[in-house]
Amino acid sequence: MPLITDADPFYFDGGNVGVLLVHGFTGSPRSMKDWGRYLADAGYTVSVPRLPGHGTSWQEMNKTRWEDWYGEAERELRDLSSRCSDVFVMGLSMGGSLALRLAEQNPDIAGVVVVNAAVHTERPDRHLLPFIRHVVPAFPGITNDIKKPGVDEGGYTKIPLQAAYSLQQLWSVVKRDIAEVKQPLLVMRSAEDHVVEASNTEWILDHVASDDVTFVELENSYHVATMDYDAPLIFAESEAFMKRLATAAV
């Protein structure tokens, strides 16, 4: 199936420190590529995979489940770990959920960075999802929550409901095992986010077992902050985080 423009993965072979960047639900690598290029220019080995069902069509995504998305992210983590001395995992929105799950399952991850990470939703229609997904294939989309004008993340215009229901199952697993997240953690949250409620970040900060936790508020961005006004801050903070923690030279 043809890809949406600029939805292809991005990879760069750099030094001994690797970083996995995971995009969000109904999004694509497009939302993470500028971040990936910044870290590649700094000398890191970078992987920005395209998760199954993403970057094509919402109908195709409705055939996938959270285990498929996680499986792709885990494969990329394994590949980076085979080539790098230290590996960091970073994610936006659902990519943050997957990053936390990877941290729960892989204690050797050197550090985790999440941006507007999701572990639940407060949408009233969430209670209908287990039932309505069998009748209605999709809801209107939540793409392009970006303050900066003229920026397109290339996400779907509809929310595929079978996939959305599976996303809720991912959140349940992440929450169940959140105490297994013990790695250094950098949490960044937009002050104004129209997709993921602030209670998500609050819950994460309250429940991880990490001793080393840093919180950064993004004052001039909406949900897709990696493409918004605060993107340079995200990139710089993540690089400083890795420089502080990496045991190997870049």
Residue 223 a catalytic site member: yes
DSSP string computed for 117-176: --S----GGGGTHHHHTTT--EEE------SSTT------SEEEHHHHHHHHHHHHHHHH
Q: 47, 190, 223, 238: which is the annotated catalytic residue? A: 223
- Please tell me the distance from the alpha carbon of residue 77 to that of residue 106, in angstroms, as a whole number: 9
Residue 125 a catalytic site member: no
Residue 152 a catalytic site member: no
Q: 47, 93, 166, 210: which is the annotated catalytic residue? A: 93
Q: 31, 54, 166, 193: which is the annotated catalytic residue? A: 193
Q: Which residues are catalytic?
A: 93, 193, 223
